[in-house]
Structure 1
Amino acid sequence: MKEYSVLLVDDEEDVVEAIIQKIDWEGMGYSLLGYAKNGLEALEIAEEKQVDVVLTDIKMPYMDGLTLSHKLKELYPSVKIIIFSGFDEFEYAKEAIRLEAEEYMLKPVDSVELSRIFKKVHERLDEEFDEKQNINRLKNYYMESLPILQESFYTSLIEGNVRQEDMERTMLDYQITLPGKLYCVVVLHNSISLSPEGINPVLISMSIRKLAEERLSKNWKACFFTYLGNTVVITQMDKEEDSYRLTDEMETLCRMAKHVCNATITAGIGKTVASLMDLPLSYMGARDAVAYRVIYGRGKAIAVSDINPEEKENRSLNRELLDEERLLDIYRSIRMASKEELFKDIDLYIKNSSLDNPSLQEYQFFLMDLVTNIHKFLLSNQLDAGIIFPKEEDVYQKVQQFNLSELSDWMKRICEKIQVVIQEKRSDKTKSFVKKAVEHVHSHYMDKDLSVEALSFALHVSAAYFSTVFKRETGKSFINYLTDYRMEKALRLLVEEEEKTYIIAESVGYSDPNYFSYAFKKKFGMSPSKYKTSGMKNEAK
C-alpha cells in the first residue's frame, strides 16, 4: 500500500490528540507529519515537507483554515483538503465546495466517519498516482503530444539551424506561435541512476514532461520537446524580472516530480534572450546550468544567471563558443568536475583532435587556436590571464615547441590552475552574497515586509537559489535566521526598554503583537511579559 503524508491543523491541542489516537494511520496507509496550531505554521511545514492531505479547522489565530486552504491549493494543486469545524454555517460549507475540499465535517469528529473519509481520500490519491504511472496511457500520450514536424523545428531552433528568412513561413506551416517579448530555455534532466527499478526511464521522462506541461503551459506559454534524452522547454515572458519567478516555478516542479513521479530531475534555466535566433545561447546556458548539479545537488532548479550573476554577456563570444564543441567538456570540467575528470577530458580532447599526421602548418594553427580559445574562456569568466600565464612569457611561442604528449601535460597544468582560481572566486562570491544578505537582515530586521522574495529580488537572484545558498552557508533557513535575530533583539529590548510588548513587537518587525508573543513563547518557553518580569526580578537581585 502506498503511503501518503497527513498534516493536522487545529489550535485546540486536545482535539488534535484525540484525532491522532482515534485513527490507525499506518494501517490506512498514512504517515502523520505532526500538527500545526495555525495556518502560518502549517504553511511553513508544507514548504519544508511534501504534504498530501491536510485536515484543518476553520477558526484559528493568525491565519484561518479557509485562507490556509486557498494558499495550499494555489501552491500545491494536488493537495487534498479536509475541513472540520464547530460552526455549521452555510457560507463555510459553500467556500469548502469552491475550494474542492474532499469533505466538510462538523465537530466533534466521529472516528468511524473520519476513517471512512481518509480511506476515500487514499483511494483518490491512488487513482491519481496510477493515472500518472499508467504505462499504456503514457505511451498514447507520447505519440499524441510529439508531432514530428514541431519536434524537428524546436530542435533546429536551439541548434541554430533555422534561417531568419525561413522562420515565419516554417512556423506558419507547423502551426507554431512564439509571440513573446523575451524567451528562456529550460532543460529538465532526469537522473536515470536514481529512477525506480522496473519502469522504463523513457516513460518516467514522459511523466515528468506531462507534469511540466500541466504546471507551465498556461502561465509561460511554453513549448515542450525531447532533445538528447532531456525535456526541453521554451518559455516566453514579458520582462527580465520574470526569470526569477521562472526559477522558483522550476524549483516547485522539481519537488513535485520527486513526489508524484518518484523521479529526481534537475532544471537548468538559461539566459533570457530577446530573439528566437538567440535561443541557442539560452539553451547552452541551460545545459551548463544542469551540469552544475554536481555542485548544487540533484533535484533542484539551477539558473545560469545565479551561478555567475555578475558575468557579462558577450554574444559574439558565445556564438564562437557554440562552434567550439570539442572544448566544451573541458570548460565544464574546469568549472565543476574533479581534477581526475578534467584530466580525462583533456586526454580525450587530445586523442580526438585529428592530429595524427598533420602538416607543420596545420599543427601550428591548431596550437594557436587552442591558446586563443583558452584566453577567450578566461575572458568569459572574468579571469585575469596574467594570473594563469606569466606576463613575460610568450605563450604562443612556447606551445609551438610542444609535441602532443607535452601539450597534454601543459594543458593539464594550465586547466588545473584555472580550476583552482574559479573555485576560489566562486567561494568568495558565495560568501560575499551571504554576507550581504546577513547585513541586510541586521539593518532591516524591523521591516515587517522583509522576506526571501524581497531580498532575493534586491540581490538579483531567484528565491530558490537564494534559499539554497543561504542555508548551506549559515546552517539555517532564511526565515529561521531572521526569526532568531528578531528574537535576540526582542530579548534585549524587553530588559532594557520600558515599553509595551506591542511596541517592542513592532520595533522588531512584527505587525501582529499576538503572533509575536506566540513566536516568542515557542522559542523561549515563556511569554514576553513573563520574560520581562523575570528579567526585572533578576536585575533587582
Structure 2
Amino acid sequence: MFRVLIADDEHLIRSSLTSKIEQFSEETVVSGLAANGVKALEWLEEHYADICVTDVKMPLMGGLDLIAKVNERYPWMISVVVSSYDEFEFAKTSMQLGAIDYIIKPVDQEQLNGALARAIGEVATQRRAEAAMLFMRSIPHHQDMLQRWVLQIQTVQLETLPLLVVDTLDMLESLAGDRFYLLNPLSMAWLEMIVEELKKEKLKIELHEGKDLGLWEKTILQDKVRSYFRLCAVRRLEEGAQRIFAVTQAVKDQPSRRAIEEVKSFINDHYADKLNLQEIADRVAISRNHFAHLFKQETGTTVWNYLIQIRMGKARELLLGTDKRVYEIAHDVGYDNSVHFSQVFKEQFGLSPAEFKKRMER
C-alpha cells in the first residue's frame, strides 16, 4: 500500500486529485490533504506518507520549498509536482530536487497514472536497494536462523511457523532500526534467500509479493508506523513460508497426492455404489491402513466422511431440483434404508430432508 499526501491551495483541485489518485490503483490511497507547504509539514509530523503530490505556488510555503524540506526530514518519500505554471525554471528546480515528474494542470488521468507508476517504482527500487545493502552486510551473522528455516521446511513443520515468523521479524527489525518501511523489502529478501538455498535440493519456487490491503486505515499516525510495517512483514513472511511449504510438500508427496486425487475422482463417479475401504485402496495399490492415514493427512477428513459429503451434496441437489421422494433419493445416492439416509442427512445439514426442502422453498 502506498500513501499519498496532497498539498494544494485549491479545495477543488485537492478533491479532484484525490479521486484521480485513488482511481490509479487499489494499492494507492490519499492519506492527507494540506492547503500549503506549512500545513503539509505539520501533517507529516504526526502522520506517515510515501509520496507527496504538491502544487508549486501556495501561500506561506510553496511546493519547491516543501520538497526540499521533505527530502531533508523524510528521505524515503518521493515527490510529484502538479502546477498551473508551464515554466522551465520551476520544472528544472523540481527535477533537481528529485521530483519524479512535473505535470501541468488541468491534470490528465493518463499523465498522472504515469507519474504515480514512476513514483511507486522509485520508492520500491530505493527501498530494495537499501534493504539489500543491509542484508549483505549482516546476513553472515544470521546463519542459525537460515538453518532453522531450511530444517523446518525440509521436515514440513507447519505447526511452529508462527514462532519462526516472529523470531525472523525480530531479526529483520534489528537490521531496519527505525526505518520501518524497510521491513517489507527485507522480508522479501529473506524469503528469496530461503528459495535460493532450497534450489540446492532441486526445488523451484516462485514468490510473489503480497498486497497490504485491509491491514490498516488510509491514515497512519507516526506512533503506529512500526506496528503497521511489522504487520505487513508478518503477512509477507507467512504467505511466503506457506508457498514454500506447499511446493516442498507437493514435491515430497507427489506420488501420494496423485493417488489421493485418483481416489477422490473415483468416489465422485461411484458414490452410489457399495464401496468399501479395501476396494478403494486396491485401486491405487496401497495398503488399506496406510491409505486411510494418507487420505486423512492430505484432505483433513476420513474416506468415509468424504464419501458422505459427496452423497449428501448430491442428495441436496436431487431434493431441491427434482420431485423425487426421500426413499428414491436415498437409493440414488447409495442408501438402501431411507431412515438411515434421513439420519445422516440431518447430521450433515441440521434438518431432515423434508424440513430442509421446506426451509429452502419458502
Tell me the TM-score range normalised by the shorter chain: 0.3 to 0.5
| Larger-Rg structure | 2
If the length of structure 2 is used for normalisation, what is the TM-score? 0.41
If the length of structure 1 is used for normalisation, what is the TM-score? 0.28
Q: Which is helix-richer, 1 or 2?
A: 2
